[in-house]
Amino acid sequence: MKIYNICFSPTGTSAKVSEAVSHGIAERIDGCEIVNCDYTRSSKSVKVNAEDIAVIAAPVYGGHFAPPARKRLEAICGSGAKCVVIAVYGNRAFEKAVSEMMEFSKERGFTPVAAATFIGEHSYSTASTPIAAGRPDEKDLLIAQRFGNQVGERIVAGISNEVDASEMLDEPSPEQSLRYFKEFIICYQKMQSETPRSYLPEVDKERCTNCGTCAQVCPTGAISADNLELDATKCIKCCACVKACPEQARTFFTPFAKPLSENFNARKQPKFVIAG
């Protein structure tokens, strides 16, 4: 049996979770092999056979299964294989992401037998506006591995039915935080309708050593390998370039960082369900 560890993960948090879950599954199934399929920067078709299992992890963008992840993962095909869907979010909310990933996996020919949500450091997190900084941490990854162990045990026991993830709901945030954040969104939308402004990652030319890391990690090829110029039409604002820059020369200012940091600082916990 093969375990396909499939992810789209610009800043690496979804990849860490899917790796821990895949290993957890493998620990309970004798003689299985993990096949790593990272779709962050490329998209090659993969057909997962019916007897194999796929772990599919992607970030949450705007409460949804991140659209660039969905697009990339259209290259996977399940042929009836079981899968585990994992939505990784930045401690605000996952909203519709799990149900969308469940639907997507079925459209691609998989049977989702387990679903999970984990918390990853928010793409917009910075030293001055931390949002779930350092997550997934050791505790999260232990939960991911144990979740994988349980999935592996159920697979050995013969589960084949679809999991009911309808009760996987967001952990409530304090009412006051939700109110403040809603007020911020209303102000932001008003500001954008009056004076539209597009925020993009920027480069501090003094710090940049032209090492090219930003161009290498960009999932969409938005940064030219020749002159490191950013093509705004291709940028998905995932912050891969910001997090990977060894000189902290790339930064992304977004007005969302401060309200997210202020209102979603209470630690949320991973959640999961496995078919009975």
Ligand X SMILES: Cc1cc2nc3c(=O)[nH]c(=O)nc-3n(C[C@H](O)[C@H](O)[C@H](O)COP(=O)(O)O)c2cc1C
Give me the residues that bind ligand X (CB under 6 A), please.
Answer: 9-14, 59-63, 88-93, 120-123, 237-239
Q: Which of 77, 22, 98 has its CA nearest to residue 55?
A: 22
Q: Which of 49, 67, 60, 40 has its CA nearest to residue 4?
A: 49
Q: Which of 107, 25, 35, 126 has its CA nearest to residue 65?
A: 107
CB of 267 to ligand X, least distance (A): 13
Strand (E) or helix (H) holding 14: helix 13-26
CB of 87 to ligand X, least distance (A): 8
CB closer to ligand X, 155 vs 215 = 215
Q: Give the CB-nearest residue to ligand X.
A: 120
CB closer to ligand X, 59 vs 259 = 59
CB closer to ligand X, 149 vs 173 = 173
CB closer to ligand X, 92 vs 154 = 92
- 195: burial class by Cβ within 10 Å (0-12, 13-18, 19+)? exposed
CB of 79 to ligand X, least distance (A): 26
| In contact, 45 and 77? CB cutoff 8 Å | yes
CB of 17 to ligand X, least distance (A): 8
What three-state secondary structure class fits 194? helix
| In contact, 85 and 17? CB cutoff 8 Å | no
CB closer to ligand X, 37 vs 275 = 37
Rg value, the chain, Cα:
19
Any idea what DSSP says for residue 245?
Answer: -
Estimate to the nearest angstrom the gap between the alpha carbon of 113 and the chain centroid: 19
| In contact, 99 and 63? CB cutoff 8 Å | no
CB of 154 to ligand X, least distance (A): 26
CB of 20 to ligand X, least distance (A): 13
CB closer to ligand X, 153 vs 170 = 170
